[in-house]
Structure 1
Amino acid sequence: MENKLKFAVLGYGHIGTKHAEMISQNPDCENVAIIDTKFSTEETKFSDLIPKFSSLESFLKSEIPVDIIVVCTPNGLHFKQSEAILNSGINVIVEKPIALDSAEAEILEALAKKKNLQLFPVMQNRFSPPAVWLRSLIDTKVLGKIFMVQISCYWNRNDKYYTSDSWRGTKSLDGGTLYTQFSHFLDILYWLFGDITNIRSKFADYNHTHLTDFEDSGIITFDFLNGGMGSFNFSTSVWNENLESSLTIIAENGSVKIGGQYMNDVEKCIIKDYQMPNLAETNKPNDYGNFKGSAQNHQYLYENIVKVMRFNEKLEITPYESIQVIKMIENIYSKNSDNIKHEN
């Protein structure tokens, strides 16, 4: 039997614990270390006797054998830490976004190629059953020409969300609402319909002026390079709980709407000469106590990573695609008509 892939998790907050859980549940994976500044000294025991380290540097010096390090730290740290990992000859998984600057993301992509290593971006929403189904509709051209696409993401992020971690809401470490909360849905937009142009953006900060360096709400309109037009509306100012994350398509041969809090429900499927298949049940959202995040699809990401590492199969989420999404976000912010608290 082939040895398990060895992982270390860098950053043991909400998302780091989720990755550690996914590693432990996959029979082809093994967690060999947890790394976080909350650990003041290096100890030999953790849950399940996993060694823990207070810094990436101290872990690398330990020479514990590892195949992949998972970067789950604040957004603004992703680039430098991923660069150090790749320069150490180790594959890396990077939570979204892989960097807060597309030029830095391109450096990581080039470095991984130069070192013959894998750079795995995390965009797990692509694996949800409604998203996979939508991709099949696009690939088979069942919908015909795409006329209009609308994405609406209305979430709640309260004061406790920002005050519980000092990096949240900062321009240097968080980056902005489109990087931290809604890059998953911009990734779905790019994955399904391609790049956008003729962008117009309007932003406002309604509920978080005392907590963040950037907007909490916005309206974006654009055209697709492949034809058709679209809009992306978002807010984290919704009272009490998340309202919805929805995607509506108006096309030549019909209309589709994916709704629910996390694009987890097919609400409408009206397509000429088409019988909708039964989809697998969508996983529940990640519940972090005072807030909820996107659906729990990380297990599919790890299944793909194992196939790539073991059998050289297709990488489902490429660094190039993640870079294009970062460029999209940069373009959206640069088209801010009112220059509301966000500069690029």
Structure 2
Amino acid sequence: MSRYKFAIIGCGRISYKHVEAIANNRKEGQLVAVCDIVLENAINKANEYKKLCPEDELPKVYTDYKAMIANEEIHIVTVATESGYHAEISIDCMNKGLNIICEKPIALSIKDADRMIECANKNNVKLCVSHQNRFNTSIQKLRSAVEHNKFGRILNGTARILWNRNMDYYKQAPWRGTWELDGGTLMNQCIHNIDLLQWMLGGEVESVYSQCDTFMRDIDGEDFGAVLVRFKNGAIGIIEGSACVYPKNLKETLDIFGEKGTVSIGGLAVNKVDVWRFEEVEDEGDTSKELEKDPDTVYGFGHTPLFKDVIEAVKENREPYVNGVEGRKAMSIILAAYKSRLTGMPVSFPMDEFSTIDMKAKF
């Protein structure tokens, strides 16, 4: 196959990164259709792509995704709708034999995430969750250090997301901050860094305890969350996530501490190495303050390589770098944090079925 045909479902805030990623992979991919229940949004995305790839046809525009997948030849669908619709739309597409790139979070319940993973396996299609920061140069360097045991025993790590999301942000899209379609700051803003933390600390969770509150924003979910995660290998993860930092975003950092090493990643989208210290001296010298140009937004640089990886996964019939099983992990930690908030107690893993909607009766 010369070029894989893409479609986008959901043409809101993040969708421009999907358009950009497809355009940047134009040698192997082409955007052929876009869909949004707001026609103007879909038209705008089709025109954005045409400006980036004038040699390609203008993508077809739809307001009904079921009509789109029934009428168009498509190989890969990106799902960038409200989070609460990810599972239903992705499953409908996978049952048509289509590969999926799903925006974070994979879903809003354990059950729905498992249904998506099972559906991908049943239909022999690829399911990728868009945790694009895993592809950052800084994060890949850190991951290599973990895999080569440069830290020795990893003791603990911290993920801090100190941002500002005012009420205008939530009013722009009323689904944001709701239990039905989103969750709070942990699920919406913090999930990328939580994914990186669990990836570096071992992934297998023993227990989660949280203290969360809604201090300033008129939303269902939390606008601040503090979470302790104990991993089965003994490491402890600390998460601090806020949408209330005055008057604007402050920073996002990921710190990993081991018996033989310390690394701190910062930058606008965890894209710069601020501290790089290991017992073992590296041939390339001191890599602290490694420069990687800041991206234009907190979305970072990772969508283009993530889309490239999915194209290659389809071509080679292998799992994507961030498959459904990987995408489920950070979501599960956040759902456990919500359950801990509800019960006031630590939550042990494996966790029974739980969803954001289970929070609605009390919060």
Tell me, which stretches of 5 or more residues in structure 1 are unaligned?
Answer: 288-292
Tell me, which stretches of 5 or more residues in structure 2 are unaligned?
Answer: 51-57, 345-355
Indicate yes or no: 2:39 matched with 1:29: no
What amino acid maps onto 1:284 in structure 2? D
Alignment correspondent of 1:54? 63
Corresponding residue SS for 2:299:
strand
- Distance 1:308-1:231 versus aligned 2 partners, 3 A rule: same
Q: How many residues align?
A: 333
What amino acid maps onto 1:113 in structure 2? N
TM-score w.r.t. the length of structure 1 is 0.90
Displacement after TM superposition at 1:252 (Å): 0.8
- Are the equivalent residues in 2 in contact too, given 1:4–1:28 (CA < 8 A)? yes
Distance 2:79 2:12 in 1: 11
TM-score w.r.t. the length of structure 2 is 0.85
Distance 2:263 2:301 in 1: 23
Compare 97-106 and 189-198 and name the one that shifted more.
189-198
- Distance 1:268-1:46 versus aligned 2 partners, 3 A rule: closer
What amino acid maps onto 1:207 in structure 2? M
- Are the equivalent residues in 2 in contact too, given 1:202–1:338 (CA < 8 A)? no
Alignment correspondent of 1:71? 79
Q: Output one character per residue of 1:143-163: Cα deviation in whole Å (capped at 9) or x when no partner.
A: 111122122110111122111
Calculate the aligned-residue CA RMSD, in Å: 2.4
Q: State how 1:157-236 maps to structure 2 within 5 Å.
A: 157-193=165-201, 194-208=203-217, 210=218, 212-236=219-243
Compare 65-74 and 194-203 and name the one that shifted more.
194-203
Distance 2:168 2:293 in 1: 26
Alignment correspondent of 2:302? 297
Indicate yes or no: 2:259 matched with 1:284: no
Displacement after TM superposition at 1:128 (Å): 0.6
What amino acid maps onto 1:24 in structure 2? A
Indicate yes or no: 2:320 matched with 1:315: yes
- Distance 1:30-1:277 versus aligned 2 partners, 3 A rule: farther
- Distance 1:102-1:281 versus aligned 2 partners, 3 A rule: farther
- Distance 1:74-1:283 versus aligned 2 partners, 3 A rule: farther
Distance 1:220 1:141 in 2: 26
Displacement after TM superposition at 1:241 (Å): 1.9
- Distance 1:261-1:206 versus aligned 2 partners, 3 A rule: farther
Distance 2:233 2:302 in 1: 29
Displacement after TM superposition at 1:109 (Å): 0.9
Displacement after TM superposition at 1:343 (Å): 4.8
Distance 1:110 1:342 in 2: 22
Q: Output one character per residue of 1:288-324: Cα deviation in whole Å (capped at 9) or x when no partner.
A: xxxxx33121011011112111223552112111122
**Which segments of structure 1 move beyond 4 Å, counting only runs of 4 or more?**
40-43, 276-281, 341-344
> Which residue of the other structure, out of 103, 107, 112, is the alignment partner of 1:99?
107
Alignment correspondent of 2:281? 274
Corresponding residue SS for 2:182:
coil
Alignment correspondent of 1:306? 311
> Which residue of the other structure, out of 318, 331, 335, is the alignment partner of 1:330?
335
- Distance 1:342-1:319 versus aligned 2 partners, 3 A rule: closer
- Distance 1:24-1:197 versus aligned 2 partners, 3 A rule: same
Compare 214-223 and 122-131 and name the one that shifted more.
214-223
Displacement after TM superposition at 1:132 (Å): 0.7
Displacement after TM superposition at 1:180 (Å): 1.1
Distance 1:5 1:199 in 2: 41
What amino acid maps onto 2:16 in structure 1? T
Displacement after TM superposition at 1:267 (Å): 1.6
What amino acid maps onto 1:215 in structure 2? E
- Are the equivalent residues in 2 in contact too, given 1:246–1:258 (CA < 8 A)? yes
- Are the equivalent residues in 2 in contact too, given 1:283–1:295 (CA < 8 A)? no
Displacement after TM superposition at 1:284 (Å): 3.4
Q: Output one character per residue of 1:247-286: Cα deviation in whole Å (capped at 9) or x when no partner.
A: 2222111322112332222222221122257597535345
Indicate yes or no: 2:254 matched with 1:255: no
What amino acid maps onto 2:294 in structure 1? K
- Distance 1:207-1:41 versus aligned 2 partners, 3 A rule: closer
- Are the equivalent residues in 2 in contact too, given 1:283–1:296 (CA < 8 A)? no
Distance 1:136 1:46 in 2: 38
What amino acid maps onto 2:85 in structure 1? L
- Distance 1:251-1:60 versus aligned 2 partners, 3 A rule: closer
